[in-house]
Structures are given as C-alpha cells and as structure tokens.
Amino acid sequence: MQSEDLQQQPLSEEELAAEREKAELEMAERLSVFGTRLSRTAEEQAQKRATTEQRWLEDLRQYHGKYSETEQSILKDSSGSSVFVNITRNKANAAEARLQDMLFPTDDRNWSIKPTPVPQLDDLEKQGAEVAEQARAIKRLAEERCEKMQTEIDDQLTESKYQAKARDMIHDKVVLGTGVLKGPVIVGRTKQRWDTDESGVSMLSISEDLRPAVEHVSIWDFYPDMSGADEFTFERHRWSKRQLRDFAKLPGVLQQQLQVVAGLGKGQTSILDRMNDVRSITGLDSISQSNYYEIWEYHGPIKKREYIDAMTSANEPLDDTEIDELNDEIEAVVFFSGNHVLKVVVNPMDTDERPYSVSCWEKDDASPFGFGIPYLLRDSQKILNTAWRMMLDNAGQAVTDQIIVNQEIVEPVDGRWTLGPKKIWKLTDPARNVQEAFAVFETRSHQGEYANIAQMARQFISEESAMPDIASGEQGDATSTASGMNLLMNSANIVLRRAVKNWDDDITETLIPRFYDWNMQYSNKPEIKGDFKINARGSSALLEKEQLADKLMMFANLTAQNEELSMRRDWVGFDQELCKALGIQYEPVTLSDEDIAKKQQEMAQQQPPPDPMAQAKQAEMQIKQQELQLKAQESQQKAQREDAKLQLDAQMQQAKLQQEYELKMADIAARENITVAQLQARIQSDAMRDKTARDTAAAKVSIETAKTNLQAQNLNKGYDTF
C-alpha cells in the first residue's frame, strides 16, 4: 500500500520540467530525423537528374550560340574559325511565339466552364417543385453559377498575371523541354480603398485579401520523383532575409527551428545549384550562395507521428477527433532547410492534388523531363556550324597562294622573309638555277561543296524541328496565292496543334480544375458554386481562328443574298464573332444603339425632300417599263406557240413518211413471198456487198498509185524500173 501511494503522488515542478524537457528533446530529435530524411531524399533526386541538368546546360549554350569550354579549346588550338550560326534560337523563338499566340489570344481564353449534363444543386431540389419545372430551374441556375464561377477564376488568374507566368513556362518548355506552373498558391494581397462618410471626409482603408494565384516554377528548382512513381515533389526556394522574416509571421511555423536556420547563415546547401552555370552562359557574373537562404518545399506523404510532432512543436495541437481520423500516412506540405523542419501543414486541397502542372515539348517515356527544340536540332546545328567554319577557313586559304622558299639559294636583301612589291632577292649559290628558289602552290576552293552541306543542314533543321521557314514569317519558295499560303500555314501548324493539345492535357485540364476545387472548398460566394466541368479550348476553338474569319465572310455573303436567311440572322452577334475571329476588339470599332439611331436620324435629315414632278415622271417610266415587259412576254409566248406548232407538223410528217415506208416494204415482201424481216436482211446484205466492192476498188486504185509513185522515185534516183 505504501509503495502504491508513493507511485500516485504528483510530480514536483522540477520533475515536470525535466519530463517536458525530455519530451521536447525527443520531439526535436524526431523532427531532426524527419528533416534528415527529406533532405536525403531531395539529394537523391538531384543526383538522379544530374545527367539531365548537363543536357539542359548544352541546350542553353546552343540556344545562346555558345560552344562548350572543350569545343572552344579545340577550336582555339586549331587556329581556325570559331563562328556559330545560331539557327536554333530562331526556330525556338518561332515555336514559342506561335504557341503563345495560339494559346493566349487577346480577346478570348483557352478554357471555359460548362455545367455537367445533369447538374446537382441541392438547394433547389429541397424546394419540392414539380419535376419538369425543377429541372429547368436547376439548368438555368447552373448556367448562371457556371458563368459566375468562370468569371471568378478568370479574375483570379488575371490578377496573378497568368499569361505572363505561362509565357515564362512556355519558354522553359521550348528551350529546355519542360515547363512547370504552380497553382493555386495562396497569396496575401493588400487592398486599398477610399471610403467617404456622410460629412464628405475620405478615409483610406487597407485590408488583406487571400486569393489563389498561379506561379511559374523554374525547371532548375523543380525536383519530382525521378523514378516515375510520382510519390513526392520537391521545390527549391532562394529566400532573402526579408522573405524569411515574412515566412516567420505565418501560422504554424516552428520558430525555434527557423531561428537555428537563420543563425547558421546563408548559403547552407548540400545540393549543387546550377544558376551560376546558367549565368556564365549568358555572360553574367556568378552570385555567391551566401546571398540567400535555401528553403525546400516538399509535397507528398509523411507519417502521422511526424505531423503530430510538428504541430505540437508549433504550439498548435490537434483535436483528438482529428488525430483519430488520420491514417498512417497523410498528404502534407513541408518546408525545411537542411535537416531542420520549419513548417508542416496538411494538403489544403480535399482532393489531395499537388499544385504542380508539368508540360513537355517532346515527352520522354523514361523521365518526367522532356526534350526541347535545341536538343532535337543538336546534330544538324553542329553540322551547320562545321560546314560554315570550313567554308570560312577554306576561303581564307584559297584567297592567296602558298609560297615555298629555298633559303640555301636565295636570301632577301632587306633581311625580312616576307613578300612585298619590288622586293630584291640575292642568289647565294651562282651554280644553282633561280627557278629552284621559289615554288607556288594554289589551295583549291570548295565553297560550293561546303555550301551544299550547309543548305542540307538547314533543311534538316526545318524538318527535325517541324518549324519550316514559313512558320517563322519567311515565304521562301512558297506559293504567293492566298489560298496556297493558307494551306501551307495549316500544314506548318500541324505540330503546333499537337503542342497545343499537350497544353490542354497537361496544364488546362489540371490547373483550372484545381482553381475550381479551391473555390468550391474555400470561397465564401455560394452563388458561384455548382456541378461544373472544365472545357479545354486550346486545340478546338483557338487554332481554327484563321479559317474561321474566311468562313464567316463566306457565310455572310451567302446569307445576304437570301432575304429569308437574312431575317433569321443575329447580325449583332455575327459582327461580334467576326471581330473576334479577326482579332479586333469589338467595342472600340462599334457604335452603340443610341449612336446608330442618332446617325440614321442625321442621314434622314440631310436627304432633300422628294420632288413631286420627279416622282410622277418616275411612276410614268415604271408604267411604261411594265407595258414593255408585258409586250415582251406576249411576243415570247407567241414565238413559243409557233415553235411548238412547227415541231408538231414535223413529227406528223415524219410519222406519215414512216408509215408509207412500212407499207411499201410490206407490199414488196408480199410480191417476193418473204417476210418483212427477210427483206430488210436482204437489203442490208446487198448494201454490205456494195460497200465491200467499193472498198476493194479503192484499194486497187491505191496500190496502182503506190506503184506509180515508186517507179517515179526510182527514175529520179537513176535506177532501172522492174
């Protein structure tokens, strides 16, 4: 009993402090193990993609028209030309510009939101309306909410400069083969608004607005699961001290760990940073890593115990119900530096989707990173550079002769072994012939052969990049007709259509649905929420604009010629669609209804009043014109009747002759005691016999004529006839 009482006695303050210190140490140790595991995993992914990074550096050198250090050393030792014919940049820029123009027109978006075929809106279903009326009401409300949701997402993307971020991503995609967009990213913005009270005094109010945004992630800072399993994703941040202070103000940050990282100083990294290599390619000075803090962001599964430790260390303990609902692993977002965990949060999306959208120019089945245009043109670009250098080297050698001097026979009077005008040489050996002193050799020019190689390399570049010269704005030998140019442009856009479709699959159908899910989950606007689906329109609507304008003009001409079709058309909407297809803003070039009515009134006032005499004369002319038309119609009808009568008389005469012929044939057949068919056969046989006799006589005459001509020819040649 005494021992049990001792065990139940409460702990002293010193013992409680020791227990807390022990628990904190154990928790800190577990967090250190957690951070070490994440840091080691990031290092492994960096090592696995080291070869890919070397390829990216080569792609950048080729894009900027630079040789590698090894190639520069070889060219320097050869004392030859070191020019670089940079066709790669032209092809890459053309592909980038065309893709941007197709995906981001000035007057339209490359996505839309539509209600599902059977939208579900619970707030209407509870009203108990009739089934048909309820279905119509649900459809109307779904379309209204869909339009509002589309406007909301469009506004969020516009405020986060989605098109500018996407253009940066497209540049990475074309040059390095892979581009990354991140969203939705929650960004805190400050809104400023002037409020005026009843007395007329204005006050500036500032409020914080948390809205989803989209960000461009540099491919150099993006480290996905290189095994292809897509288990996790790492992103590297380079933060200044100010950014680190802003991060410390966020809820859930482990302040003690953050202070340790700040105390260690900047430049603490175990993974090679390639940014200085990139800067050296573009001719910029390198930046010391001591200028920033390296912070890593991890998206992927973590253990439940790791999450609980991080939240407890941040003084934000979980409820028992929330802890019980956690599985063994949860999808989380972790910020860490080295082996120091700075912040852990559960994935904010209920769908557990990660915020990264990746798109490749040419996909690689064995890697999450694809191939860009510089890589596709690698060999052809080298061939073109080699051919051009050889042309220049050969031109320099062929412009002058190679001269060999025998120094044992001659020597220059001025002592300098260089050629020049009126140069005097002295023959040192009188027994030798002066012709033996000099020899001249000519270097052959091969400019044509090298030019052919360069031309073939350029053709290969166009074929391998699938970007012909016409896609870059150069007509070349292409046809000059409008229809021919249109066909060639459509053919040149085939590969770009594939790239746009890849954008739809990789970016639009992943990024926009995440914004839709975020608004459904976090937005406080019930009027935008509903059962919708995302429609990627990049490859369906935007690529057909060039042909759409021609089709609209053709349709307008056909409709204008038919009064019934013209009455069915909405010409205002038609005008809007035509301006959109031509890339023209509708509002600046279109008058409002009030301006149109005012203009019509002014035109009516400017017209002079009608002249009664002129109107009477015009009416008289119209009556005369109608009389002439009636007379012409009567004359035409009379001529038609006479023509019909003549045709009838001719048919009757022909029938009469046919009848007389048949009667005569029957009479002859009766006299000969044969049938009419036998008589006709006899007549045909006699006609055939007469024709054969005529043909035979004509053939005999031709033979005699030929003999006579042959005899005459023989006589002319001096030969005897037979």
pLDDT over threshold 80, residue 521: yes
- Name the average pLDDT for the chain: 79
269, 293 in Cβ contact below 8 A? no
Same domain assignment for residues 417 and 549: no
Phi, psi of 424 (to 5 degrees): -110, 125
pLDDT over threshold 70, residue 102: yes
Asked whether residue 89 is assigned to any structural domain, the reply reads yes
Q: Pairing state of beta strands 222-224 and 202-217?
A: unpaired
* Per-residue confidence (pLDDT) for residue 722, from 0 to 100: 36
User: Which tokens is 376 given?
Assistant: 């596709």
The better pLDDT of the pair 633, 60 is held by 60
Phi, psi of 270 (to 5 degrees): -120, 5
- With bands split at pLDDT 50, 70 and 90, how would you rate the model's confidence at 38? very high
Among the candidates 606, 627, 655, a domain finishes at 606
374, 172 in Cβ contact below 8 A? no
pLDDT over threshold 60, residue 17: yes
pLDDT digits (tens, 9 = 90+) for 424-467: 888 888 888 888 888 888 888 888 888 898 888 888 888 777 77
For residues 525, 528, 532, 538, the Cα torsion angle rounded to the nearest 10 degrees is: -110
For residues 501, 503, 507, 513, the Cα torsion angle rounded to the nearest 10 degrees is: -30
Scan for tokens 């001659």, then name that residue. 410
For residues 144, 145, 149, 150, the Cα torsion angle rounded to the nearest 10 degrees is: -30
Instruction: Specify the 3-state DSSP secondary structure of 217.
Output: strand
The better pLDDT of the pair 471, 331 is held by 331
Among the candidates 555, 584, 606, a domain finishes at 606
Same domain assignment for residues 151 and 210: yes
For residues 454, 458, 463, 465, the Cα torsion angle rounded to the nearest 10 degrees is: 130
Cα angle 143, 144, 147 (rounded to 5 degrees) comes to 85
Burial tier of 374 (Cβ tally within 10 Å: 0-12, 13-18, 19+)? buried
* Per-residue confidence (pLDDT) for residue 690, from 0 to 100: 81
User: Which tokens is 687 given?
Assistant: 């006609």
pLDDT over threshold 70, residue 26: yes
- Greatest mean pLDDT among 78-87, 561-570, 654-663, 702-711 lies in 78-87
> d(Cα 454, Cα 387) in Å, to the nearest integer?
6
Asked whether residue 160 is assigned to any structural domain, the reply reads yes
Residue in 308, 351, 304, 358 with CA at minimum distance from that of residue 330: 304
> d(Cα 69, Cα 77) in Å, to the nearest integer?
12
What one-letter code names the amino acid at 147?
A: E
Asked whether residue 107 is assigned to any structural domain, the reply reads yes
The better pLDDT of the pair 495, 686 is held by 686
Residue in 108, 83, 167 with CA at minimum distance from that of residue 537: 108
Region of 13 (left: φ > 0; alpha: ψ -120 to 50; beta: rest) is: alpha
Asked whether residue 405 is assigned to any structural domain, the reply reads yes
User: Which tokens is 486 given?
Assistant: 């249109």
Same domain assignment for residues 335 and 394: no
* Per-residue confidence (pLDDT) for residue 249, from 0 to 100: 86
* Percent of the chain surpassing pLDDT 90: 17
Residue in 56, 273, 87 with CA at minimum distance from that of residue 178: 56
Same domain assignment for residues 347 and 404: no
Residue in 534, 525, 528, 523 with CA at minimum distance from that of residue 142: 528
Helix (H) or strand (E) segment spanning residue 337: strand 329-337
* Contacts of 511 by beta carbon, 8 Å cutoff, 6+ apart: 181, 183, 214, 357
Same domain assignment for residues 246 and 280: yes
pLDDT over threshold 70, residue 482: no
> d(Cα 94, Cα 469) in Å, to the nearest integer?
9
503, 357 in Cβ contact below 8 A? no
* Per-residue confidence (pLDDT) for residue 267, from 0 to 100: 63
How many Cβ atoms from other residues are within 10 Å of residue 216's Cβ? Answer: 21
* Per-residue confidence (pLDDT) for residue 281, from 0 to 100: 86
* Per-residue confidence (pLDDT) for residue 720, from 0 to 100: 47
> d(Cα 122, Cα 264) in Å, to the nearest integer?
55
pLDDT digits (tens, 9 = 90+) for 571-585: 777 777 777 666 666
> d(Cα 362, Cα 365) in Å, to the nearest integer?
10
Among the candidates 585, 606, 627, a domain finishes at 606
Asked whether residue 616 is assigned to any structural domain, the reply reads no
Average pLDDT over residues 516-545: 75
pLDDT digits (tens, 9 = 90+) for 193-208: 666 767 767 776 655 5
Same domain assignment for residues 279 and 400: no
350, 50 in Cβ contact below 8 A? no
The better pLDDT of the pair 686, 151 is held by 151
Asked whether residue 33 is assigned to any structural domain, the reply reads yes
DSSP structural state of residue 318: P
- With bands split at pLDDT 50, 70 and 90, how would you rate the model's confidence at 167? very high
Q: What are 112's strand-pairing partners?
A: 535
Cis peptide before 184 (omega within 30 of 0): yes
- With bands split at pLDDT 50, 70 and 90, how would you rate the model's confidence at 2? very low
CA 661 to each of CA 116, 414, 651: distance values in angstroms, whole numbers, following the listed order: 84, 126, 15
pLDDT digits (tens, 9 = 90+) for 211-225: 889 999 999 999 999
Average pLDDT over residues 112-122: 69
Phi, psi of 354 (to 5 degrees): -85, 155
Same domain assignment for residues 364 and 250: yes
What one-letter code names the amino acid at 688?
A: M
pLDDT digits (tens, 9 = 90+) for 598-636: 777 777 777 666 667 777 777 788 888 888 888 888 888
How many Cβ atoms from other residues are within 10 Å of residue 155's Cβ? Answer: 11
Angle subtended by helix axes 88-103 and 447-465, to nearest 10 = 30
- The string of DSSP letters for 576-614 reads HHHHHHHT--TGGG---HHHHHHHHHHHHHHSPPPPHHH
Q: What are 364's strand-pairing partners?
A: none
Instruction: Specify the 3-state DSSP secondary structure of 226.
Output: coil
How many domains are contained in the chain?
Answer: 3
pLDDT over threshold 90, residue 556: no
Residue in 565, 540, 542 with CA at minimum distance from that of residue 555: 565
- The string of DSSP letters for 363-413 reads --TTSSS-B-HHHHTHHHHHHHHHHHHHHHHHHHHHTS-EEEE-TTTEEET
- The string of DSSP letters for 489-518 reads HHHHTHHHHHHHHHHIIIIIHHHHHHHHHH
* Per-residue confidence (pLDDT) for residue 191, from 0 to 100: 57
Q: What are 371's strand-pairing partners?
A: 362
Same domain assignment for residues 505 and 421: no
Asked whether residue 394 is assigned to any structural domain, the reply reads yes
User: Which tokens is 593 given?
Assistant: 């209804």
Asked whether residue 87 is assigned to any structural domain, the reply reads yes
Residue in 431, 412, 426, 232 with CA at minimum distance from that of residue 336: 232
Burial tier of 423 (Cβ tally within 10 Å: 0-12, 13-18, 19+)? exposed
How many Cβ atoms from other residues are within 10 Å of residue 544's Cβ? Answer: 13
> d(Cα 352, Cα 337) in Å, to the nearest integer?
24
Domain range for 554 is 545-606
> d(Cα 309, Cα 224) in Å, to the nearest integer?
26
pLDDT over threshold 80, residue 593: no
Average pLDDT over residues 310-337: 72
Same domain assignment for residues 226 and 82: yes
Same domain assignment for residues 579 and 602: yes
470, 495 in Cβ contact below 8 A? no
Same domain assignment for residues 209 and 171: yes
Instruction: Specify the 3-state DSSP secondary structure of 524.
Output: coil
* Per-residue confidence (pLDDT) for residue 288, from 0 to 100: 64
The better pLDDT of the pair 544, 625 is held by 625
CA 463 to each of CA 415, 491, 529, 681: distance values in angstroms, whole numbers, following the listed order: 59, 13, 48, 75
Average pLDDT over residues 7-11: 59
Q: Pairing state of beta strands 178-196 and 356-360?
A: antiparallel
Same domain assignment for residues 503 and 458: no
How many Cβ atoms from other residues are within 10 Å of residue 593's Cβ? Answer: 8
CA 329 to each of CA 151, 335, 346, 553: distance values in angstroms, whole numbers, following the listed order: 37, 17, 11, 60
What contacts 24+ positions apart, CB below 8 Å, involve 151-156? 152/519, 152/523, 152/525, 152/528, 153/113, 153/512, 153/515, 153/516, 153/519, 154/109, 156/184, 156/211, 156/212, 156/213, 156/515
